[in-house]
Amino acid sequence: MKKALVLGASGGIGSAITFELISRGIKVIAFARNIKKLKALYEGNNLVEIKEGDVFNYSQLMDAAKGAECIYHAVNLPYQEWQTKQEPMINNILQVSENVGAKLAVVDNIYSYAESTGEKASEEYEKNPQTKKGKIRLKIGKKVMDSKVQAFIAHFPDFYGPYAESTVLHYFLQSIIDHKKAMFVGDKKVPREYIYTPDGAKALVELSLHEKAYGQCWNIPGTGVITGEEIIKIIQEITGYSRKVSTVTKNMVRFIGIFDPSMKEYVEMYDLTQKPLILNGEKLECLIGPIQKTSYKEGLEGTLNTMKEKGLITI
């Protein structure tokens, strides 16, 4: 591949995908709405062409996609916009992909899977979501798989990493950086799975270079499971943070949701923190080999360092 288009290139996984592509010498069109964020990340890089634009604007999307061999869809919409905007967005992306003859790699989460039974979920795990957002993701996935575009869907656990701001762990880490009282979302004793964005991007890009990947769904698992208590201990070792960490309960999310539209929409997803689904990545590793799994200590340290370095820039 010589040229790719990354949609949502200013976000956590979008920027990680962009950096992974250029590390392989692949030219990238970095597409997002906020030109300031794009310039902060990529200005001066000869392999990156910055394109300010909106995925809902068909002509802007078509212009950006010219010459791209693969489109990476990493746009992250606020929860409150999912009901009205997810479908129009994927329709635009699929139409553009078909018209320019580009392949499509779709970044997805675990919402479309059924409730966890405690076993690791393979790609054949039942897709029977009980939440509104899970049903939306399932519908979007079906559209992608039923389209004429050569595409695949990659399911990821919760992200954390450089520039991954719209994540549960980011808000916790930001409190640490700001020397404020930190709050952890969900039971701190429950083992959960996270993926460091550079690891996820490396696996996704490698997957996109295999013809056999297309027309299928793939699980890209994280480093492994870790409890909130273990994360807090790692953070304390790295930063020396000594204040007590409180727990954000479901009732607290409900209350905050009265004033915050995003938190109101998060209420139904809270149960995923209590009965988390853990991904099985055997199918992926059979195709591309062992995947990179950065330790939580190294990943959290890298994330915190980036947050400190970019403290004066809103990424």
pLDDT band, very low/low/confident/very high, at 118 (cuts 50, 70, 90): confident
Domain boundaries, the chain: 3-163+194-224+277-293
Query: Is 157 within 8 Å of 288 (Cβ atoms)?
Result: no
Q: What integer pLDDT is reported at residue 210 of this predicted model? A: 98
- Are the C-beta atoms of 81 and 95 separated by less than 8 Å? no
DSSP string, 227-274: -HHHHHHHHHHHH---SPPEEE-HHHHHHHHTT-HHHHHHGGGGGGGT
CATH class of 3-163+194-224+277-293: alpha beta
Contacts by 253-259 with C-beta closer than 8 Å and gap 24+? 253/185
Are the C-beta atoms of residues 19 and 38 closer than 8 Å to each other? no
What the block records as the tokens of 140 is: 């979007």
Q: Are 85 and 245 in contact (CB under 8 A)?
A: no
Contact 17, 205 (CB under 8 A): yes
Q: Is 218 strand, coil or helix?
A: strand
Return the residue matching tokens 């310039």: 39
pLDDT more than 90, % of the chain: 79
Per the listing, tokens 């992926």 go with 284
Percent of the chain with pLDDT over 70: 98
Three-state SS for 193?
strand
Sorted by sequence, the CB contacts under 8 Å of residue 96 that are 6+ apart come out as 58, 61, 62, 65, 71, 102
Q: How would DSSP label each residue in 26-80?
A: -EEEEEES-HHHHHHHHTT-TTEEEEE--TT-HHHHHHHHTT-SEEEE-----GG
Given a contact cutoff of 8 angstroms between Cβ atoms, the answer to whether 61 and 92 are in contact is yes
In the prediction, which pLDDT does 43 show?
Answer: 94
1's enclosing H/E stretch is: none
pTM of the model: 0.94
pLDDT tens-digit map of 73-105:
999 999 999 999 999 999 999 999 999 999 999
Q: What is the pLDDT of residues 169-219, one digit of tens each?
A: 998 999 888 888 899 999 999 999 999 999 999 999 999 999 999 999 999
Find where tokens 């009980």 sit.
130
Please report which confidence band the pLDDT of residue 313 belongs to, taking 50, 70 and 90 as the band edges: very low
Distances (CA, A) of 68 to 76, 97, 251: 21, 9, 46
311 pLDDT tier (thresholds 50, 70, 90): low
The pLDDT, as a whole number, for residue 312 is 34
Residue-wise pLDDT for 6-41, tens only, equals: 999 999 999 999 999 999 999 999 999 999 999 999
